[in-house]
Amino acid sequence: MAGTLTQPTARTVTTLADGRQLIYYDSGEAVPRDAVDRRPLDPPAHGSEIRFDPATGDWVTIAAHRQARTYRPPAEECPLCPSRDGRLSEIPAEDYQVAVFENRFPALAGTAAPVHPADGPWTSGPGTGRCEVVCFTADHDASFADLDERRARLVLDAWTDRTAELAALPGVEQVYCFENRGAEIGVTLAHPHGQIYAFPFTTPRTERMAARAGRHRAATGRNLFEDLVAAERADGARVVLTGEHWTAFVPYAARWPYEVHLHPHRRVPDLTALDAAQRAEFPGLYLELLRRFDRLFGGGRTPYISAWHQAPAGRRDELALHLELFTIRRTADKLKYLAGVESGMDAFVNDVTPEDAARRLREATP
């Protein structure tokens, strides 16, 4: 059991046929996990590259081998379901609670020395890091919102454990846990799952937040995120849910029609720094938030992206762990497509006022 697992959680590590790592997480005592991957697999393709954009200061990953990744297979060929009835998948066991494995088509893989921008116009380096898949349940037809609190807590433990291990890998600058749900979002595997990226650089959005936090500290002597959470809690107009240790609110300048940020009241840099009380309260609040998203448009599963923002290496004093949840659906029958001003200039135009979005989410009770 890894040191970051704080509740009774068992961790079983094994290897797939092509050498990739697979980890089973189970609530309570360890479940025997001796199933062997019998597939005749070639070594996974790697060979990605990162390139530095001198005009924006952003790193871009070039991963042409991912064109061959699995794309919307039928349910009977799902690679994330357990291996049953003679059908072999990425999960050799006949059943599982939570499973995490290295992506067979990773955008980032391997280790190398950090790459720094050169004096000339072009800077590139190997796309090192790691990409993992997190399967929340063996039930192909379920969703995260269908989980009970114990299973949601197990997923939180898996995210935390993976954050600790991946952040310690040579060359990793930032660990990003996320879930994309729904074909409208672009999901290519319908089975309930998320992913984790271990980046060899700090992502552009995090760089911008770090710069803002640094300016706020210089101007006020305070932490930007602590002030933001305190202001939203005091105002209340955009608060959706609140507990003893967490608050969910629609941000004042929300970019998406329905966007909620979930912050712990005590600022921490990443998942590994959450205390026992914060961990215990998170599953119930998060599940209720997901269920309210599903109730927004009269039932059904609302497509969404759920993104954990964690402090990268060297930025732990200013950045704050928080989860950003948003949907591209703006009405029951309309999606929010990025227009030219948004895709071309990164200047968002929101069709729903944040205050109205928060009100609708507060009212989305059973």
Average pLDDT of the chain is: 95
156: nearest Cα among 273, 279, 260: 279
pLDDT tens digit sequence for 132-151: 999 999 999 999 999 999 99
| 3-state DSSP assignment of residue 58 | coil
In angstroms, rounded to a whole number, what is the distance separating the alpha carbons of residues 175 and 61?
15
What mean pLDDT is predicted for residues 331-359?
96
2 pLDDT more than 60: no
Residue 4: is its pLDDT beyond 70?
Answer: no
Amino acid type, 104: R
Closest among 306, 109, 116, 296 to 192, alpha carbons compared: 306
Checking if the pLDDT of 76 tops 70, the result is: yes
Average pLDDT over residues 287-308: 96
pLDDT per residue over 252-285, tens digit each?
A: 999 999 999 999 999 999 999 999 999 999 999 9
DSSP, collapsed to helix, strand or coil, labels residue 256 as coil
> What percent of the chain is modeled with pLDDT above 90?
88
pLDDT of residue 298: 86
Q: Over 70: is that where the pLDDT of 206 sits?
A: yes
Residue 82 has pLDDT above 60, yes or no: yes
Q: Which of 193, 216, 263, 309 is catalytic?
A: 193
Q: Find the mean pLDDT for residues 294-312.
A: 95
How confident is residue 5, by pLDDT bands cut at 50, 70 and 90?
low
Q: Give the pLDDT score at 6.
A: 60
Candidates 278, 281, 254; CA nearest to 267 is 278
- From the DSSP assignment, how many helices (H) and strands (E) are in the chain? 6, 16
* Token duo for residue 149: 């609190």
- Per-residue CA distances from 349 to 56, 297, 323, 328, 353 (Å): 22, 21, 22, 13, 10
Structure tokens at 12: 């079983």
Q: Residues near 236 by Cβ (< 8 Å), separated by ≥ 6?
A: none
pLDDT score of 7: 66
Query: DSSP assignment, residue 184?
Result: T
pLDDT of residue 1: 37
Q: Is 216 helix (H, G, I), strand (E, B) or coil?
A: helix
**Distance, CA of 188 to CA of 63 (rounded, Å):** 17
Determine what percent of the chain is predicted with pLDDT higher than 70. Answer: 98
Q: What is the rounded CA–CA span in Å between residue 111 and residue 32?
A: 32
> 354: pLDDT confidence band, cut at 50, 70 and 90?
very high
The answer to pTM > 0.85 is: yes
pLDDT digit string, tens, across residues 227-259: 999 999 999 999 999 999 999 999 999 999 999
Write a three-state SS string for 325-363.
EEECEEECCEECCCCHHHHHHCCCCCCCCHHHHHHHHHH
What domains lie within the chain, and their CATH numbers?
9-201 (3.30.428.10), 206-363 (3.30.428.10)
- Give pLDDT tens digits for 86-135: 999 999 999 999 999 999 999 999 988 788 887 788 999 999 999 999 99
Cα(281)–Cα(244) distance, integer angstroms: 8
State how far the Cα of 141 lies from the Cα of 334, in Å rounded to an integer.
24
Instruction: Determine whether 263 is an active site residue.
Output: no
pLDDT tens digits, residue range 158-193? 999 999 999 999 999 999 999 999 999 999 999 999
330 contacts 352 by C-beta, under 8 angstroms: yes
Alpha helices by DSSP H, 85-184: 149-167
What φ, ψ does residue 273 adopt, rounded to 5°? -95, 0
